[in-house]
């Protein structure tokens, strides 16, 4: 047993190595930690526990992290069925989610939270198993009482004073301590580079066309969208654009896309970006095949060779090809598919790679390193990108990519949204299909309050007007998303600068001892509500102030939990309640939305004017703006405006004033406060 002595590296951030030879994911991804942002935005906090230790057992390193028996844990990893993880045993490895939260997931980041206001991150690329507070050591100081099943109530749970984790090799252990779980997550995200700076167009409407489409099919599809007034921002091309996919050539199919440059620029003229699907397995038909071969592993996937993404040379070959063939002609980003598994679709665990790294390490970092490679390629051109990826790891907060999968359960997609905020990534509950018009609308609505509003018609060629009877509602839903652009852009600014996820599980904002202190809310008077919020996934926060309570298909009425504080109805502006459960009804055209008292929500009208919606009697807010597509904000080309309002006799008086940056507030024609 070795006690681990953690040293402070930023306000409330501590670290130690379990041995000399650490080779963590963060060092591979090489994002710059935003230490200053941690120190400037958050207060210091002491180590939340004493007595963390490690031991070597066989070829494994074990880390034992003390906990109080009453602590609640969330994570590690992206989950789809529940948020809290006490007593779980999680075998973390990058994989396509197979229906249970057992650790095999798209984002198996070894980072978990405690509602005592801290997070622990064990930085290793290897597979790692977590025992979330149910393992009782014989040398425990406070072992749980033995129970007797033959007498009275009995429980199989044996609460333990440790979370334990085991893995091969050594790791860097980090503790992110703060006043709340939210602060712990924010510090973790900032340490991983801060939240993604996504382009404005990324917050618009995405549509992925049928995989067999050629250039004319795509152009015709766009015409149809125009005729029906569905304002597109991004077209996604699926596997069929490649001359070969599964494995991939990364080259345009000459029959389908004879003049890719003309194709991409004709879309750009309409303000529509092109996003390209790819997987990471290289076809013999690819021009880069011979060049990349020496940097690939011993086993193929779908008969394609697998680049060792931990090697710079492999990444460079791909980045150069992508730049020349795609980025230079105006392609805006990628959907990096299939980098997650399943086992039978990936290389075996005994695959050898030229870097000498284990197959586990390559597998767990494939998605994040591919993202970083693409990010860097655009960064060099001073361009922001936004795309999709099916696997990620530590460092993903900074990556402008959303995770997605094929499970298509409404409920699980909703849970994914909440869970992503606990594990430092973005999740998109894309729309693909529906059994009923109602389901169709409800799915679009969930997407409006997510990092990406996307229809994915890759398999069925579906259009937004699939159900005539709700075509108008879907169109309005898309417009609603677009009107929220200034608010959502603010939320991503806060993600980048303060590490606060744009879409958040309720437990981040409203539960845990620390968060009560932070927000001035007191849950002690409403224990039922507190309990419910611990594992709530069916309502969540979007940006600073909006609480989203999606209606599920088939649901005419639902229960919502209003945390303590003042809440207002989005639509009527009327006071809705505080610290109580409500049974609500909501017509199909609306998403149940509640806004914090004092909030100012900037929205943009069709005519380009800015409307700031003000809730309660007085309050304040901000508006961040920049050019929306470059990194010029780093040189002061942005505007940060402070806003405030008071409401008297029903009339709102508002103020907006630029306080930082030498940029501009977009060409908003007029500003009004309501």
Q: How far, in Å, CA of 375 to CA of 36, rounded?
A: 23
The least CB distance from residue 259 to ligand GAL, in Å, is 24
The least CB distance from residue 443 to ligand GAL, in Å, is 15
Q: For ligand GAL, which is the closer residue by CB, 385 or 526?
A: 385
Taking the alpha carbons at both ends of the chain, their separation in whole angstroms is 63
Look up residue 222 and give its two tokens. 């766009």
Q: For ligand GAL, which is the closer residue by CB, 337 or 509?
A: 337
Q: For ligand GAL, which is the closer residue by CB, 308 or 338?
A: 338
The least CB distance from residue 335 to ligand GAL, in Å, is 6
Q: For ligand GAL, which is the closer residue by CB, 239 or 592?
A: 239
Q: SS3 for 308? A: coil
Phi–psi pair at 80, nearest 5 degrees: -130, -5
Q: Which residue is it, tokens 């149809």? A: 224
**CB neighbourhood size of 651 (10 A):** 8
Q: How many CA atoms lie within 13 A of 325 on its CB side?
A: 21
Restricted to residues 47-66, the positions that interact with ligand GAL (CB under 6 A) are: none
Q: How far, in Å, CA of 575 to CA of 527, rounded?
A: 23
Q: Is 144 exposed, middle or buried (0-12, 13-18, 19+ CB in 10 A)?
A: middle
Show the binding pattern over residues 412-451: x = contacts ligand GAL (CB under 6 A), - = does not: ----------------------------------------
The closest of 432, 358, 6 to 208, measured between CA atoms, is 432
The least CB distance from residue 525 to ligand GAL, in Å, is 46
The closest of 598, 597, 596 to 645, measured between CA atoms, is 598
The least CB distance from residue 405 to ligand GAL, in Å, is 6
Contact 627, 637 (CB under 8 A): yes
Q: For ligand GAL, which is the closer residue by CB, 432 or 637?
A: 432
Restricted to residues 512-531, the positions that interact with ligand GAL (CB under 6 A) are: none
Restricted to residues 489-508, the positions that interact with ligand GAL (CB under 6 A) are: none
Residue nearest ligand GAL, Cβ-based: 458
Applying CB under 6 A, does 262 fall inside the site for ligand GAL? no
Considering only residues 458, 489, 624, 645, which one is a binding residue for ligand GAL as defined by CB under 6 A? 458
The closest of 471, 482, 433 to 455, measured between CA atoms, is 433
Applying CB under 6 A, does 95 fall inside the site for ligand GAL? no
Q: Find all residues with CB under 8 Å of 123, minimum gap 6, and list them.
A: 22, 24, 25, 26, 110, 171, 172, 173, 174, 394
Q: For ligand GAL, which is the closer residue by CB, 170 or 338?
A: 338
The least CB distance from residue 587 to ligand GAL, in Å, is 31
Cis peptide before 247 (omega within 30 of 0): yes
Q: Is 165 exposed, middle or buried (0-12, 13-18, 19+ CB in 10 A)?
A: buried
Look up residue 293 and give its two tokens. 């071969």
Applying CB under 6 A, does 337 fall inside the site for ligand GAL? yes
Q: For ligand GAL, which is the closer residue by CB, 419 or 456?
A: 456
Applying CB under 6 A, does 566 fall inside the site for ligand GAL? no
Show the binding pattern over residues 369-408: x = contacts ligand GAL (CB under 6 A), - = does not: -------------------------------------x--
Number of residues that bind ligand GAL (CB under 6 A): 9
User: Cα dist. 206→173, 231, 367, 430, 468 in Å?
Assistant: 39, 9, 22, 10, 20
Q: For ligand GAL, which is the closer residue by CB, 238 or 566?
A: 238
Q: For ligand GAL, which is the closer residue by CB, 406 or 662?
A: 406
Considering only residues 95, 161, 179, 238, which one is a binding residue for ligand GAL as defined by CB under 6 A? 238
The closest of 26, 67, 363 to 174, measured between CA atoms, is 26
Q: Strand 610-614 and strand 671-673: pairing?
A: parallel
Applying CB under 6 A, does 239 fall inside the site for ligand GAL? yes
Show the binding pattern over residues 268-287: x = contacts ligand GAL (CB under 6 A), - = does not: ---------x----------
Considering only residues 456, 494, 511, 666, which one is a binding residue for ligand GAL as defined by CB under 6 A? 456
- The alpha helices in 385-435, defined as continuous H runs, are 410-420
Restricted to residues 210-229, the positions that interact with ligand GAL (CB under 6 A) are: 211
Q: How far, in Å, CA of 446 to CA of 430, rounded?
A: 9
The least CB distance from residue 157 to ligand GAL, in Å, is 36
Look up residue 294 and give its two tokens. 């020496």
Judged by the rule CB under 6 A, the positions of this chain that interact with ligand GAL are 211, 238-239, 277, 337-338, 406, 456, 458
């Amino acid at each position: 047993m070795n006690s681990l002595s953690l040293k402070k590296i930023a306000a409330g951030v501590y670290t130690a190595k379990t041995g000399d030879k650490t080779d963590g994911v963060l060092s591979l991804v090489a994002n710059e930690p935003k230490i200053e942002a941690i120190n400037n935005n958050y207060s210091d906090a002491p180590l939340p526990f004493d007595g963390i230790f490690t031991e070597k057992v066989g070829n494994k390193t074990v880390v034992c992290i003390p906990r109080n028996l009453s602590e609640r844990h969330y994570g590690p990893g992206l989950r789809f069925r529940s948020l809290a993880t006490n007593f779980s045993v999680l075998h973390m490895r990058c994989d396509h989610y197979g229906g249970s939260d057992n650790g095999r997931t798209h984002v198996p980041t070894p980072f978990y939270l405690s509602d005592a206001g801290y997070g622990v991150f064990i930085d290793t690329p290897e597979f790692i198993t977590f025992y979330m507070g149910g393992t009782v050591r014989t040398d425990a100081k406070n072992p749980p009482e033995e129970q007797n099943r033959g007498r009275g109530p009995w429980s199989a749970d044996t609460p333990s004073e440790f979370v334990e984790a085991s893995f091969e090799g050594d790791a860097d252990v980090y503790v992110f301590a703060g006043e709340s779980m939210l602060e712990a997550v924010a510090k973790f995200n900032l340490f991983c580079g801060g939240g993604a700076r996504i382009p404005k167009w990324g917050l618009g409407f995405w549509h992925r066309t049928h995989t067999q489409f050629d250039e004319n099919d795509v152009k015709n599809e766009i015409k149809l969208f125009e005729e029906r007034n569905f304002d597109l921002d991004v077209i996604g091309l699926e596997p069929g654009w490649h001359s070969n996919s599964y494995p991939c050539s990364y080259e345009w199919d000459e029959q389908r896309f004879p003049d890719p440059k003309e194709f991409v620029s004709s879309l750009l003229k309409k303000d529509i970006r092109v996003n390209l699907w790819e997987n990471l397995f290289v076809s013999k038909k690819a021009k880069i095949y011979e060049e990349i071969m020496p940097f690939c592993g011993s086993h193929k996937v779908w008969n394609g060779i697998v680049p060792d993404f931990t090697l710079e040379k492999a990444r460079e070959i791909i980045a150069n090809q992508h730049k020349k063939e795609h980025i230079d002609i105006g392609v805006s980003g990628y959907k990096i598919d299939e980098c997650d598994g399943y086992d039978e679709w990936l290389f075996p665990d005994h695959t050898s790679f030229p870097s000498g790294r284990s197959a586990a390490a390559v597998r767990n970092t494939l998605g994040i390193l591919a993202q970083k490679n693409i990010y860097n390629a655009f960064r060099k051109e001073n361009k922001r990108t936004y795309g999709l990826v099916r696997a990620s790891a530590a460092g993903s907060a900074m990556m402008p990519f959303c995770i997605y999968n094929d499970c298509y359960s409404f409920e699980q997609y909703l849970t994914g949204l909440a869970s992503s905020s606990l594990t430092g990534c973005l999740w998109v509950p894309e729309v693909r299909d529906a059994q009923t018009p109602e389901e169709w609308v409800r799915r679009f609505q969930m997407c409006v309050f997510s990092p990406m509003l996307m229809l994915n018609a890759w398999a069925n060629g579906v259009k937004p007007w699939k159900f005539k009877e709700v075509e108008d509602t879907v169109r309005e839903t898309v417009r609603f998303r677009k009107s929220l652009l200034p608010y959502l852009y603010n939320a991503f600014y806060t993600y980048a600068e303060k590490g606060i996820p744009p879409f958040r599980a309720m437990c981040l904002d409203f539960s845990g001892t620390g968060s009560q202190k932070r927000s001035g809310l007191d849950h002690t008077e409403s224990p039922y509500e507190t309990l419910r919020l611990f594992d709530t996934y069916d309502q969540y926060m979007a940006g600073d102030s909006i609480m989203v309570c999606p209606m599920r298909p088939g649901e005419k009425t639902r229960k919502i939990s209003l945390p303590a504080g003042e809440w207002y109805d989005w639509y009527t502006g009327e006071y809705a309640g505080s610290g109580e459960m409500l049974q609500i009804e909501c017509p199909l055209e609306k998403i149940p939305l509640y806004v914090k008292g004092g909030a100012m929500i900037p929205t943009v009208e069709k005519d380009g004017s800015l409307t700031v919606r003000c809730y309660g009697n007085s309050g304040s807010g901000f508006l961040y703006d920049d050019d929306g597509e470059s990194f010029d904000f780093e040189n002061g080309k942005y505007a940060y405006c402070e806003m405030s309002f008071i409401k008297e006799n029903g009339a709102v008086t508002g103020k907006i004033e630029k306080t930082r940056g030498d940029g501009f507030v977009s060409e908003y024609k007029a500003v009004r406060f309501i």
